[in-house]
Amino acid sequence: MKIVVCVKTTLPSEAQIRLEGGKLIFDNTPPVINPWDEYAVEAALQQKEAVGGTVTALSIGDESANVALKHALAMGADEAIRITDSALGALDTLATARLLAAAVQKLGGVDLVCFGRQAIDGDSGVTPAQTARLLGWPALTLASAVKIEGRRIRVERSIEEGRQIVSADLPAVLSVVKDFAEPRYPTFMGKRKADRAEIPVWSLAAPAPLVAWGEFAEPPRQTAQCEIITGASPEEIAEKLAEKILAEKIL
């Protein structure tokens, strides 16, 4: 089975962000693979282990994209390909999905494309469904359990109300949530292989984005400082706190 996993390089969630004149200034925390994509790589590797085949990692971007690709290789992916947009413009989700769908088609014979549920920078979580739609393949999103039997894939989806169990024929697109399985750590050998890997670059043409990011702003801060409620007993504290909560008129 030919499996693709789409990964992205992001800043780690601990990175600090400052704003200056509507622009974001990042601290110099080194970038990492988008944490959600580690689950996607894990899902791809588990399917390979279950039914055989290869895992190819894809990422769009400049050389920083190699961070995510090398992590995927170190976890056990067989190959990695970096995709650049020949116009080198900003991408929106649909342009991203078009590039990924084009790369999957160029690879040819792909049976399964795995994604993390979202990237922790843009937080959109729509690229998997858009890529599936452009490929004309079923989108099995928010998967917490996956089983492939022959050409049939069965998935448990995490939705607001609990779990929905769906199945489809391959090829298909999958997005994976956290309770799928803990992602494995890269092995020493895996890291060495990843360090030495020459990652090929494909230049593909992306359409102009339809949605553009403009200025950034500070998120609204809690205006009031924290008021610490004290008292002689838990009951007294609770009485005071209950009064404060009711006075907010939010219940």
Ligand X SMILES: Cc1cc2nc3c(=O)[nH]c(=O)nc-3n(C[C@H](O)[C@H](O)[C@H](O)COP(=O)(O)OP(=O)(O)OC[C@H]3O[C@@H](n4cnc5c(N)ncnc54)[C@H](O)[C@@H]3O)c2cc1C
CB nearer to another protein: pick between 13 and 54: 13
Per-residue binder mask for another protein (CB under 8 A), 117-156, x = binder: ---xxxxxxxx-xx-xxx--xxxxxx-x---------x--
* Whole-number Å distance between alpha carbons of 69 and 105: 19
DSSP state of 62: S
Residue 13 binds ligand X, judged by CB under 6 A: yes
Nearest distance in Å: CB 79, another protein: 27
Q: Which does 64 bind (CB under 5 to 8 A by kind): ligand X, another protein, none?
A: none
56-115 residues near ligand X, rule: CB under 6 A: none
- The answer to whether the CB of 168 falls within 8 A of the CB of 140 is yes
R_g over Cα of the chain: 22
21-50 residues near ligand X, rule: CB under 6 A: 35
* Whole-number Å distance between alpha carbons of 204 and 9: 19
Residue nearest to ligand X (CB): 35
Whole-number Cα distances in Å, 188 to 75, 192, 196, 243: 10, 6, 13, 57
Nearest distance in Å: CB 135, another protein: 10
> What's phi and psi for 10, nearest 5 deg?
-135, 170
Residue 211 binds another protein, judged by CB under 8 A: yes
Nearest distance in Å: CB 154, another protein: 7
| Residue from 21, 150, 220, 232 in contact with another protein (CB under 8 A) | 220
* Whole-number Å distance between alpha carbons of 128 and 113: 9
